Amino acid sequence: MFAASCLLSEDQFLCSICLDVFTDPVSTPCGHNFCKNCINEHWNSDDQYLCPLCEMVFYTQPELHINTLFSEMVSQFRQEAQQKTSSSSSEQQAAKPGEVPCDVCTRTKLKALKSCLVCLTSYCETHLEPHLTALSLKRHQLMDPVENLEDRMCMKHDKPLELFCKTDQTCVCVLCSVLDHKTHEFVPLKEEYEGKKAELGKTEAEIQEMIQKRQLKIEEIKHSVDLSKEAADREKAEGVQVFTALMESVERSLNELIETIEEKQRTTEKQAEDFIKELEQEISELKKRSSEVEKLSHSEDHLHLLQNFPSLKAAPPTKDWTEVSVHPSSYEGTVVRAVAQLEETLSKQMKLLEAELKRIQQYAVDVTLDPDTANPWLILSDDGKQVNLGDVKKNLPDNPERFSPCVSVLGKQSLSSGRFYFEVQVKEKTEWTLGVARESINRKGKIIPTPQNGFWTIRLRNGNEYSACNDPPVDLSLKAQPQKVGVFVDFEEGLVSFYDVDAAARIYSFTGCSFTEKLYPFFSPCFNDDGKNSAPLIICPVNQTE
């Protein structure tokens, strides 16, 4: 019997009416097998007696008898299936927290492998078997196990959510599409799913691209930090070298000054010691003579006094000390001369600013003037390198970028990261304003060029009054009038510095700035002042200092 059952497939032991293993299998005259109860109920509910499989018509209800041999085979199959189920159940794992359990298991809830959207039931491996073998169940839609399958039913009509309303962007059932969304556009859930899945794929690709860009930006920032550290190390090393040399020069000059003063003092002391020694020697001789004179004056021997008197009466051989004196050493001018010599030494060694200027000149940018931003009274050279105030106002469109009435102009080149540098000749001018400005500055009406308004500039007024355009303005005391001004910007550092190029001296620096948008070179030649200020501002090529 066991061997016979093994020759049949599992589908052949399932009733085609109830789709379950035969119970009391009977055979119809046409040779097909059904559960006794299933075929009787089928015929009781129908007007004709038809075979459910081959549709053979029986004019009278056939008398059915249990198929003994097939019944034994079914019984054997059921027994084997139970053993297989028991073995399979022991191999399968019970559902863990967070896993979807099988809805059919009555004892230990095993982990579900699939959920059926038609049955609204989740099945473990064993209870999923009919959906994989029975023809009618194979048409059901299976998916990875999910909880709360009832959420996939329309709460209003108790029908599966099978359609997607594109008008309302929601999932609906068949009745919803007829009753509540009559004029709306519908597509099957699968079609909308494929579309949304494609969109998600595109979104994922975009996200990955954004991630890559940000990872590249991280690498770029890290590289910038490494470059900054290298530059900082070079600066520290150069600073230590320069200031060590300066300190050594100062210490050496101080030692030389002290040695000079002490040498003068030693000379004075030696001269005084020599005079004192000579004076003490004469005092000793005079004391001896005084003693002899006193002794002779007390002598009672007439002959002796008269014989020795001539030798004692004569003036003693002493030096005339009237004009002799020791003058304190004069130190007047000693410190001044030492400081002057030190200054000369330091001027030879002081290459710090020159080195700084040489370094920033490496970031020189070829700046040209932007005619679209120039005030109509300004005259720009054909090469865009010179600007001065004209006598006639040009008829130009008053576009938003143009300065009016402020007599100013911007450079074409902008900076949004890194560093740049340019130089401007201000020779023979009595007034000017130079620097950089952010892109969004106000260009109409009265302009106050302060950092708060997006300007970082310095200016000259009245021929010799220099100031940094801060709030309030910062007066600048310069040793000489710059003929050429260098402008340096470090975007990330928030630094704007101005230099007297010829003197290799820093004029002023704006520090701790926060730049959030593009910066442009800013130029204002100011008014002509009756011809005194008619010279142009000239953007010069940068010649790096040797």
> What is residue 174's DSSP assignment?
H
DSSP H helix total and E strand total for the chain? 10, 23
Instruction: Find the length of the chain.
Output: 546
Could you give the C-alpha distances from 262 to 253, 268, 274, 335, 533, in angstroms and in order? 14, 10, 18, 13, 58
pTM value surpassing 0.85: no
The type of residue at 312 is: L
Helix (H, G, I), strand (E, B) or coil at 345: helix
Only one residue has tokens 């710090």, namely: 352
pLDDT in tens, 390-447: 999 999 999 999 999 999 999 999 999 999 999 999 999 999 999 999 999 999 999 9
- How many Å from the N-terminal Cα to the C-terminal Cα in the chain? 109
Instruction: Specify which residues 410 forms β-bridges with.
Output: 522
Q: 3-state SS string over 426-451?
A: CCCCCCEEEEEEECCCCCECCCCCCH
pLDDT of residue 329: 62
Closest by Cα among 21, 19, 15, 33 to 69? 33
Got the DSSP string for 195-264?
HHHHHHHHHHHHHHHHHHHHHHHHHHHHHHHHHHHHHHHHHHHHHHHHHHHHHHHHHHHHHHHHHHHHHH
pLDDT in tens, 280-314: 888 888 888 888 888 888 888 888 888 888 777 66
pLDDT of residue 546: 46
> What is residue 316's DSSP assignment?
P
Q: How far is the C-alpha of 140 from the C-alpha of 151, rounded, in Å?
A: 18
In the chain, the largest separation of any two C-alpha atoms, in whole Å, equals: 208
Query: Within 10 Å of residue 501's Cβ, how many Cβ atoms?
Result: 20
Query: Within 10 Å of residue 228's Cβ, how many Cβ atoms?
Result: 12
| Ramachandran class of 466: left when φ > 0, alpha when ψ lies in -120 to 50, beta otherwise | beta
**88-113: buried (b, 16+ CB within 10 Å) or exposed (e) per residue?**
ebeebeebeeeebbbbbbeeebbbbb
The list of the chain residues with pLDDT below 50 reads: 1-6, 89, 545-546
Query: Within 10 Å of residue 401's Cβ, how many Cβ atoms?
Result: 12
pLDDT of residue 3: 43
> Which contacts of 348-355 are long-range, i.e. CB under 8 A and separated by 24 or more positions?
349/242, 349/245, 349/246, 349/249, 350/242, 350/246, 351/242, 352/238, 352/239, 352/242, 353/504, 353/505, 353/506, 354/504, 354/545, 355/238, 355/242
Q: What angle do CA 432, 436, 438 make, to 5 degrees?
A: 135
Count of alpha carbons within 13 angstroms of residue 282, beta-carbon side: 12
Could you give the C-alpha distances from 381 to 371, 389, 455, 536, in angstroms and in order? 10, 12, 24, 10
For 335-483, where are the E strands, in sequence order?
A: 378-380, 386-389, 409-410, 419-425, 432-438, 455-461, 465-468, 474-476
pLDDT in tens, 318-332: 677 777 777 766 666
Helix (H, G, I), strand (E, B) or coil at 482: coil
pLDDT of residue 295: 86
